[in-house]
Structure 1
Amino acid sequence: MSTAGSAVGTGSRSQPSLAGRLRLLSVTTIVLVLVSGFGGVWAVHSSTSRVATLSRVLTPAVETHAEALHLMTDAEAGLRGFHSTGDETLLVPFARAREDVLHTLVVAEELGREAGVAADYAAPQVAAAAWLEEAHLAVGVEADSPDEAALAQSMSTFRAAHREVHDALVDRREVVRAETRTVRRLGIPALLAMTFTLVLVAAATARTTVRAVAGPLDALRSVLDRQRRGEHQARAQVSGPCEVSEVAAAVNALADESDRLRRRQDRAALLRVRTRDAARAVREPLDQDIVLRTAARVLGQLVGADRAVITHMPWATRSTASGPVHARWSADGGPLPGAPDLDRLTLRSLCSLVPDGEAMLVPTPGGEIPQAIAPLLPEPGARAVVARVGAADDSVAVVVLTVAADRNVSDDELHSVQLVCADLSRALEHSETYERQLELVDRLQELDRQKADFLSTVSHELRTPLTSIAGYTEMLREGVAGEIEPRARGMLDVVHRNVERLTRLIEDLLLLSRIEAGALRTEVADVDLTAAAEAVALALEPEARTRGLTLEVDGRDGHVRGDPGQLERVLLNLASNAVKFTPEGGSVRIEIRPSSSTGDVLLTVTDTGIGIPTQDMDKLTDRFFRASNAVDGVVPGTGLGLSIVRRVVEVHGGHMDVTSVQDEGTRVAITLPMAGPAALDEPGT
């Protein structure tokens, strides 16, 4: 800015100002216009005044004076004719002359004097008056008596006096005419010459001004165009009039300021990118130790620190809090000698020094090093950026970034530290939440394992006595112990049905336990789903007939590869559910169809039962879940059937889809790969 100012001063002293040039051009033009105007006005006025003198004064004076001579001549001729003939009508000119001659001579005298003609105007007047008097006297005398010699003498005197005045007027008129011609002949060329001179001077002055201004302005425009095209280093030459020089210097100063702002914006953009990357790096890990070490590294690199120390006190406000956790980083990658661990008291002192969520540079200019910070500085004169990180769970962390004494940490960098620390606060909360979730998951998994072990153990323990009960019941029904009365046989049938029900429940529990434990063994073989469906329908036929239901099987070409026992269990669970939840008079239909387009076999079980409420559809295959209308209707069940079906179907590479309308019925569709290159192609999978 100072360079631009000195350049402006030099240009102002070395070159006339643009305002001075314009003033000179204006003054010159005005002077020449005034001179030319005055000359033209003078020429026009002079010519006009002379023409006016000629037309209004001199010419009328000559003509009026000549008219007086004409009147006198007519009067003399009339008088002679009267004396010769005695005809009084010939005295009319004489009478008119007596009335008008003297007045005419007076008017001629006035005009002549107005025109500045010096003459003896009284002589012709006196001579005319004398002749008229004598002629008047001669009119009353006999014709042969007038003194003609005396009259002739008087007329000659008048004529001579008249001639002198007339000649003076005519001479003056010719002089004025000559002057008028001279003014016209010389005034117009002089006016044209002055106008031409004015044009030349104005053109020369304008050309000089334009040359002095146009060049620097063109150069300045060229520089502005270059800057607009992106040549930010282009600068204008400070030259020309002082105003143009000042504009050029201002353009240069503006370009310098733009470069400075551009560099600052570039630094700010780079800092934003680094801040975003640092915040992302802090947010990515979930392990608390990794979060702290990553934060120490990225914060130290963000402000160009020599080393960084982060001390985290989990649950800092509680009496049962654990000890602080430390994370350290150094620019050279080495250990941090002399970096003490912060105890709870020092940590609290630092928290009271720095507001929550803010960052500050200590010591401030002219300030002292706080006692809590001094042990963290590696050497005298060093400075530190200190930030406090608070979390919603009352944990607290303090970030100390050590920088060299001559390192200037900007406000933007402090703000970036605050932003990263805000992400660090959230990351610490997430890490602690993650750790608690891991602990909870471990506990839930342990509980689930214990539950599975318990179910497996209970199932095995119940299986043995149920087998004995089933065997002895069958023996009693067959009459091994003797003839059974009808009433006792009916009781044995009830016992047998409930034993089978408990057996299926135990088998379901054992199968589910093996699936969840990953211990389910699948013996792969070709399975005819149609035959399996007919077998299941035959087993359920008595129950369906008892309930008044229609049970149908419609299947063809339903060969798949899988475990026969497991797939039969799938059919049994689906069909038994359909029979169980379908009221009297309803129907259950099992349909098996191959699909040539997809290479799958579609198995559907459709009933006209009570259906499933819409709000229960999402949980339908969860373990032990039962639809709300089944619970309300006190329909017995365990909630394991569809869960087992879904898992067995998934093990066989298939897919299950359930659609249902409450109080109208349910349709379960299962898609299994058709027999051929099987997904489960090895026994014992």
Structure 2
Amino acid sequence: MTPPTRASRPRSVRWRLGMLSLVLSCLILAISGIALVALDFQRGEADRSVLVVEPAYDANRQVATTMSAAQSALRGTVVLAASRAEAGADDQIAEMLSQYSAAQQRSEAELATLTGLISSEGFGRDSQRRTAAYAAEQRQREAIASWWEYGRTVSESESATPAQILEGQRRFASIEAANSELGAIIEQERAAVRANLRNAIVWASLAVVGATIVALAMAVIMGWRTTSALTKPLQRLRDIVRRQRHGDRTAWAATDIGAAEVRELAGDVNALTKAHHDLTDRQNASLDVLRAQAQLSRSVQSSDTLSGALRRSADGIGEALRVERVVIGVFNDRRKFDDAFVWTAPDAEAGMDNPGELRQELAEQAARIWEGDRQVVVDDVSTLLTVGPDGEDWWADLRGPLGRGGLLIVPFGLGDQAIGVASIRTSEPRPWTDNEVAFVHHVVGEITRLVVKETSERQQAEHVARLEELDRQKDDFMSTVSHELRTPLTSISGYLEMLGDGDAGELSGAQRRMLDVVGRNTMRLRGLIEDLLVLNQLEATALPSDAPTISVCEIVRDVAEELAPVAARAGVSLTPEMSDGSWIRADRVQLVRALTNLASNAVKFTPTGGRVRLTCRLSQDRRSVEVRCSDTGMGIPAEELQHLFTRFFRASNASRAQIQGTGLGLVIVRDIVERHGGTMRCNSVEGQGTTFTMVIPASDETGRCEVHDAPNARPVYSPFARAAQRAADREAAR
């Protein structure tokens, strides 16, 4: 079948739309031309009206007005001159003559303007009317000149005879007649301009409407023909698209029916449909890979051992990617496989079950790959170079016995060191997708996390074992210190007391002072040892679950009574303040030690004449008991408050004052309070005093604290307080 000739070919949609656009453009240009011509004519008539005719009309009226003013001024001059005997007549005559002169000057300017407007080309399109207007203007000018001649004679003589008056009236009547004639001609020109404007608007509207009707008619006709040529092919194309949208993969648009543009559109729809099918297939494959990735991740994460995770990873990668062989393993420090697993498809081609990749070469290649691109993606191993970049044939083993097929190698590691590798092979060339490569990376990432987790757990277990051993050694050391240091200190203290009592004879004053120094340092050393033992005990034991319920106010009273002699000798007022219902579950001995440490510190750091208060009360919500020790001592520098509960820390002002201390008392207090589930607070202003507050959870049991009626109450032993009292007693005796 021969192709149709050009003349027999149907008009294309482009040609039809082009012709429609061309015709519409021509009609629009015609309409626009008509409108422009009409607008230009209207603009010209409007310009004549505004710039020539109307100004000429106004100028002619102004000439009449000016001449009337000049006549009035001349008459006034004559009348006033006849009655010159009256007072002020001369001034009025001068004023009238001034108005007369001004009117004469204005009339000359107005006549010049009027002459220019009448003589211009834009005054009138009718030549007869222009000639008549020009003649009337000349007659008016001559009449005005004649009247001004008359006026000059009268103004100079300042008097007029009846004959002169009649002559002036006659000449002024000539001016009025000429002015009226010229005004009538100008009015005719005004009416002609308005008529031209109305006619231009009417004809322009009719022309635009007619051209618009013709354009619409042609647009409808050509549009109908173009629509008819497109409707059926587009309807068939629409049906094909609907079938494709509902998943019919057999629906394809016909490319040999309809206009050229419709055929091109059908071809584009077919291409888009094919691309959509390809994209859908890739998305489904990606979703399958993602589902397999999620399932395999859960399986690997639930593995108890690294070997199990490697086995599951090899099986999962092989089944998800539908490959022939998967090798995955972890290296040891010598870059040899410790754990490695090989998965081979049941229908793998002969030669694919060779585990030769587990040799040393794969480990070395994995290290090189890790240092480079960190992956090797090859669609066909037959395209690999025989010799590698460094001159070695390190791709030889990777080509395998078949010498063809796809290859994917993904090493994994930590930092700059590779710790393992995953190798995937196919028997035939295969283009690897980004999702498949990402899937393998994700799996080896899970293996890496598992390796890191096992390594971390092993290191953590070793660290915990070392810490437990160090803790045991510390306990042994503290036990040895307790035994080896306290025993000789007890002996030294005994002999010091015997020497002080005179059992070895009388002592001189110097000897007693030396013994006091030895005694004080012995007491400091004993306090330090006891504080260390207390800290060790607090760290080693917890508060018993069956701790008794005790009254905090009783402890406050006992501590106050115990330290009262020490405070009295130091000249410090020690005042306890207690409220009812302050009950807690606590270790009485430890709580007494904590409060004694706070109170003895307050007495020690408060100068003579100062005050120390021990208060005990329930909090506002009645959930905790607040025990507060406040003094008016030297205070603590603000910048040192954050280090207050650090072991062996002593405030700088206390060190400068050479006040003895170990720096462990507040640490012991904090540990005791925290052991009871409480908190410590400290507020201090240097030079004004310090307030420590122990906040301890209150007990559900309640009672009444009798402060003054407690004959059976006994103070609890406090080694530090007793030692401080003995030192004060010796100081007083000396």
Q: Same fold (TM over 0.5)?
A: yes
Matched, 1:647 2:665: no
Distance in 1 of aligned mates of 2:533 and 2:600: 19
Tell me the SS of whatever aligns to 1:593. Answer: strand
Q: Counterpart in 2 of 1:570?
A: 594
Distance in 2 of aligned mates of 1:299 and 1:614: 65
Indicate if the aligned counterparts of 2:381 and 2:404 stay in contact, CA closer than 8 A.
Answer: no
Whichever residue aligns with residue 630 of structure 2, its letter is T
Do the aligned partners of residues 544 and 327 (structure 1) sit closer, same or farther apart at CA in structure 2, a change above 3 Å counting? farther
Matched, 1:552 2:575: yes
Tell me the SS of whatever aligns to 1:460. Answer: helix
Tell me the SS of whatever aligns to 1:387. Answer: strand
Indicate if the aligned counterparts of 2:329 and 2:338 stay in contact, CA closer than 8 A.
Answer: yes
Q: Which of 201, 214, 220 is the aligned partner of 2:231?
A: 214
Distance in 2 of aligned mates of 1:246 and 1:583: 106
Do the aligned partners of residues 676 and 633 (structure 1) sit closer, same or farther apart at CA in structure 2, a change above 3 Å counting? same
Distance in 1 of aligned mates of 2:313 and 2:336: 20
Q: Counterpart in 1 of 2:694?
A: 670
Distance in 2 of aligned mates of 1:237 and 1:443: 78
Shift of 1:210: 2.9
Residue by residue, what CA displacement relative to the aligned partner does 1:557-585 show, whole Å, maximum 9, x if unpaired? 23322111011011122223334455666
Distance in 2 of aligned mates of 1:452 and 1:379: 68
Shift of 1:591: 1.7
Shift of 1:258: 3.8
Whichever residue aligns with residue 231 of structure 2, its letter is A
| TM-score, normalising length: structure 1 | 0.56
Matched, 1:464 2:464: no
Do the aligned partners of residues 546 and 384 (structure 1) sit closer, same or farther apart at CA in structure 2, a change above 3 Å counting? farther
Q: Counterpart in 2 of 1:356?
A: 372
Q: Counterpart in 1 of 2:470?
A: 447
Matched, 1:413 2:436: yes
Q: Counterpart in 1 of 2:538?
A: 515
Do the aligned partners of residues 655 and 412 (structure 1) sit closer, same or farther apart at CA in structure 2, a change above 3 Å counting? same
Q: Counterpart in 2 of 1:247?
A: 265
Q: Counterpart in 1 of 2:412?
A: 389
Indicate if the aligned counterparts of 2:635 and 2:687 stay in contact, CA closer than 8 A.
Answer: yes
Matched, 1:347 2:360: no
Q: Which has the greater radius of gyration?
A: 1
> What are the ranges of 5 or more consecutive residues in structure 2 without an aligned counterpart?
25-215, 347-351, 387-392, 703-734
Q: Counterpart in 1 of 2:279?
A: 261
Residue by residue, what CA displacement relative to the aligned partner does 1:173-211 show, whole Å, maximum 9, x if unpaired? xxxxxxxxxxxxxxxxxxxxxxxxxx9999898756533
Distance in 1 of aligned mates of 2:399 and 2:646: 57
Whichever residue aligns with residue 645 of structure 1, its letter is V
Do the aligned partners of residues 607 and 312 (structure 1) sit closer, same or farther apart at CA in structure 2, a change above 3 Å counting? farther
Matched, 1:366 2:382: yes
Tell me the SS of whatever aligns to 1:366. Answer: helix
Q: Which moved more, 1:336-345 or 1:553-562?
A: 336-345
Whichever residue aligns with residue 479 of structure 2, its letter is S
Shift of 1:313: 4.2
Indicate if the aligned counterparts of 2:606 and 2:632 stay in contact, CA closer than 8 A.
Answer: yes
Distance in 2 of aligned mates of 1:300 and 1:585: 89
Indicate if the aligned counterparts of 1:524 and 1:562 stay in contact, CA closer than 8 A.
Answer: yes
Indicate if the aligned counterparts of 2:370 and 2:411 stay in contact, CA closer than 8 A.
Answer: yes
Distance in 2 of aligned mates of 1:375 and 1:586: 90
Q: Which moved more, 1:462-471 or 1:556-565?
A: 462-471
Do the aligned partners of residues 289 and 255 (structure 1) sit closer, same or farther apart at CA in structure 2, a change above 3 Å counting? same
Mapping of residues 24-63 of structure 1, within 5 Å: none
> What are the ranges of 5 or more consecutive residues in structure 1 without an aligned counterpart?
1-8, 31-198, 316-320, 679-685
Q: Counterpart in 2 of 1:588?
A: 612
Do the aligned partners of residues 358 and 323 (structure 1) sit closer, same or farther apart at CA in structure 2, a change above 3 Å counting? closer
Q: Counterpart in 1 of 2:102?
A: none
Distance in 2 of aligned mates of 1:628 and 1:340: 74
Indicate if the aligned counterparts of 1:592 and 1:601 stay in contact, CA closer than 8 A.
Answer: yes
Percent identity between the aligned chains? 35
Indicate if the aligned counterparts of 1:15 and 1:241 stay in contact, CA closer than 8 A.
Answer: no
Tell me the SS of whatever aligns to 2:341. Answer: strand
Indicate if the aligned counterparts of 1:653 and 1:672 stay in contact, CA closer than 8 A.
Answer: yes
Indicate if the aligned counterparts of 1:390 and 1:396 stay in contact, CA closer than 8 A.
Answer: yes
Distance in 2 of aligned mates of 1:431 and 1:628: 49
Q: Which moved more, 1:304-313 or 1:248-257?
A: 304-313
Shift of 1:427: 7.3
Residue by residue, what CA displacement relative to the aligned partner does 1:350-408 show, whole Å, maximum 9, x if unpaired? 43466535211458342369767749979886654212335336454333234554665
Q: Counterpart in 2 of 1:325?
A: 338
Do the aligned partners of residues 418 and 583 (structure 1) sit closer, same or farther apart at CA in structure 2, a change above 3 Å counting? farther
Tell me the SS of whatever aligns to 2:699. Answer: coil
Do the aligned partners of residues 522 and 464 (structure 1) sit closer, same or farther apart at CA in structure 2, a change above 3 Å counting? farther
Tell me the SS of whatever aligns to 2:412. Answer: strand
Indicate if the aligned counterparts of 1:610 and 1:665 stay in contact, CA closer than 8 A.
Answer: yes
Do the aligned partners of residues 246 and 669 (structure 1) sit closer, same or farther apart at CA in structure 2, a change above 3 Å counting? same
Distance in 2 of aligned mates of 1:284 and 1:327: 19
Distance in 2 of aligned mates of 1:462 and 1:390: 55
| TM-score, normalising length: structure 2 | 0.52
Indicate if the aligned counterparts of 1:282 and 1:294 stay in contact, CA closer than 8 A.
Answer: yes
Distance in 2 of aligned mates of 1:671 and 1:290: 53
Residue by residue, what CA displacement relative to the aligned partner does 1:89-144 show, whole Å, maximum 9, x if unpaired? xxxxxxxxxxxxxxxxxxxxxxxxxxxxxxxxxxxxxxxxxxxxxxxxxxxxxxxx
Indicate if the aligned counterparts of 1:609 and 1:665 stay in contact, CA closer than 8 A.
Answer: yes
Indicate if the aligned counterparts of 2:625 and 2:696 stay in contact, CA closer than 8 A.
Answer: yes
Do the aligned partners of residues 551 and 276 (structure 1) sit closer, same or farther apart at CA in structure 2, a change above 3 Å counting? farther
Whichever residue aligns with residue 696 of structure 2, its letter is L
Q: Counterpart in 1 of 2:551?
A: 528
Residue by residue, what CA displacement relative to the aligned partner does 1:587-626 show, whole Å, maximum 9, x if unpaired? 4332211135242211122344555566655554454455
Q: Which moved more, 1:530-539 or 1:468-477?
A: 468-477
Shift of 1:453: 1.9
Mapping of residues 280-295 of structure 1, within 5 Å: none
Residue by residue, what CA displacement relative to the aligned partner does 1:399-421 show, whole Å, maximum 9, x if unpaired? 32345546653244325545665
Shift of 1:458: 0.8
Tell me the SS of whatever aligns to 2:594. Answer: helix
Do the aligned partners of residues 264 and 524 (structure 1) sit closer, same or farther apart at CA in structure 2, a change above 3 Å counting? same
